[in-house]
Amino acid sequence: VVKTGDGNAGRPRNERRTVTATDVAQAVGVSRSAVSRAFTPGALIADSTRQSVHAAAARLGYVPNALARMLISQRSRIVGVVMGTLINPFRSAVLDRLTAELHVAGYVPILFPVTPDSSVEDILPSIRQYQPEAVIMTGFTPVADALARMADSGVRVVVLNRGCEATVAADFISCDHMGGAALVAGRMLAAGYARLAVVGTGRGQVTTRSREDGFNAALRGAGLQPVQTVEAPLGYESGHAAAVRIMRDRRLPDAVFCLNDMTALGFIDAARTAYGLEPQRDYGIAGFDDIPMSAWPPYRLSSVTQPIAALAREVVTAIGRDGAGQSATCLLLPGSYVPRNSLRGEDAARRGAG
């Protein structure tokens, strides 16, 4: 029996009627199921049928309605990407890889921005409405409680670069921030620096804390501890301000570990502009993230590269893996230290262009 509706209910009158599978079926003279099968990879259908259906579809401008498909098949292929602001180039790089990776895996990312004033609590329920197969959280600090509720509702939750909460049934995938920071500490110590400072400390993000912890732990291993610690949110402006604050102090450090590159860049600029201090020559400095700008000549900042591509790949793998979301999973991918010219003794060849 052919549906009676005109397929145009509630639609602005100037829009053309939606072309449905039924239309194509009629045009070709087959059943609606045949049309469906023609668009289902690997379905049992005669080649000739598929071809004529495709031809008619192209002619009529038919495209399967993904919404209806999701509804009936109970598979949305939708992945909610909940993320903080993109001001930090590292964040954009992650989003870039992530969307690319999701796409090749056949997922559709839908974006939910987390701004300072829109709490995650508020957006999670609205995300659930879209029946995502998974939700990726990154670039902001998720509230454990919200995570748990999300996971409880049967949605797979993957947390990228936000530590590991063993109590929540989610996949936590992260760069090994502690290890990376330990690498930095090791290099600083090896280079003979002894009066070390840390910039960017604070209650902030888990990642940040891990870096600080890793750095301090490595120092402790050598019987040391930071001579100075500047509490501040991460970012260029913060680094700038931190430099000023540090220089005012009497107990000057001989090397500083900025908890991310943007902060380090701000630090370098302030130290140079206001005090004529050059990295490497006058003090050691290192960052974390290895953003493109760190390689630029005015900075040549040594840093820790996060394996962005691998992280992104692991995230979509985690989404695809079944049986997941049942218990907490943690995956730590190592970062690698990139020596440039911001620590004593380093002498990275200048590449032609940044």
**Cα–chain center distance at 352:** 30
The residue range among 64-72, 114-122, 311-319, 343-351 that interacts with DNA, by the rule CB under 7 A, is 64-72
Among residues 26, 32, 237, 329, which is the contact residue for DNA, using CB under 7 A? 32
Q: How far is the CB of 43 from DNA (least distance, A)?
A: 7
**232 neighbors 202 (Cβ within 8 angstroms):** yes
If one counts every other C-beta atom within 10 angstroms of the C-beta of residue 98, the result is 23
Quote the Cα angle for 195-198-202, to 5°. 150
Residue whose pair of structure tokens reads 């964040």 in the numeric block: 91
Residues 213-252 within binding reach of DNA (CB under 7 A): none
Nearer CB in complex with a second copy: 92/225: 92
Q: How far is the CB of 4 from DNA (least distance, A)?
A: 5
Nearer CB in complex with a second copy: 182/241: 241
The interface partner of residue 297, options being a second copy, DNA, none and the CB cut-off 5 to 8 Å by kind, is a second copy
Q: Does 21 contact DNA by CB under 7 A?
A: yes
Q: How, if at all, do strands 284-286 and 78-83 pair? A: unpaired
Distance CA 51, CA 30 (A): 12
Nearer CB in complex with DNA: 28/183: 28
Distance CA 250, CA 42 (A): 72
Q: How far is the CB of 16 from DNA (least distance, A)?
A: 11
**215 neighbors 185 (Cβ within 8 angstroms):** yes
Nearer CB in complex with DNA: 45/135: 45
**188 neighbors 284 (Cβ within 8 angstroms):** yes
Among candidate residues 346, 39, 271, 318, the one with its CA nearest the CA of residue 158: 318
Distance CA 222, CA 239 (A): 27
Alpha helices per DSSP H over 5-106: 21-28, 32-38, 47-60, 66-73, 89-104
Q: Does 16 contact DNA by CB under 7 A?
A: no
Q: How far is the CB of 68 from DNA (least distance, A)?
A: 3
Residues 41-60 within binding reach of DNA (CB under 7 A): 44-49
Distance CA 9, CA 272 (A): 66
Q: How far is the CB of 203 from a second copy (least distance, A)?
A: 22
Q: How far is the CB of 326 from a second copy (least distance, A)?
A: 7
Nearer CB in complex with DNA: 78/160: 78
Residue whose pair of structure tokens reads 């590292």 in the numeric block: 90
Three-state secondary-structure class, residue 168? coil
Q: Does 7 contact DNA by CB under 7 A?
A: yes
The interface partner of residue 96, options being DNA, a second copy, none and the CB cut-off 5 to 8 Å by kind, is a second copy
Nearer CB in complex with DNA: 21/265: 21
Among candidate residues 349, 338, 255, 345, the one with its CA nearest the CA of residue 290: 338
Residues 72-101 within binding reach of DNA (CB under 7 A): 72-74
The interface partner of residue 130, options being DNA, a second copy, none and the CB cut-off 5 to 8 Å by kind, is a second copy
The residue range among 3-11, 97-105, 177-185, 195-203 that interacts with DNA, by the rule CB under 7 A, is 3-11
Q: How far is the CB of 166 from DNA (least distance, A)?
A: 32
The interface partner of residue 117, options being a second copy, DNA, none and the CB cut-off 5 to 8 Å by kind, is none
b vs e for 142-173, b when ≥16 Cβ sit within 10 Å of the residue's Cβ?
beeebbbbbbeeebbbbbbbbbbbeebbbbbb
Number of residues in contact with DNA, rule: CB under 7 A?
38
The interface partner of residue 190, options being DNA, a second copy, none and the CB cut-off 5 to 8 Å by kind, is none
The interface partner of residue 328, options being a second copy, DNA, none and the CB cut-off 5 to 8 Å by kind, is none
Task: Give the binding site for DNA (CB under 7 A).
Answer: 1, 3-7, 9-10, 18, 20-22, 29-37, 39-40, 44-49, 62, 64-65, 68-69, 71-74
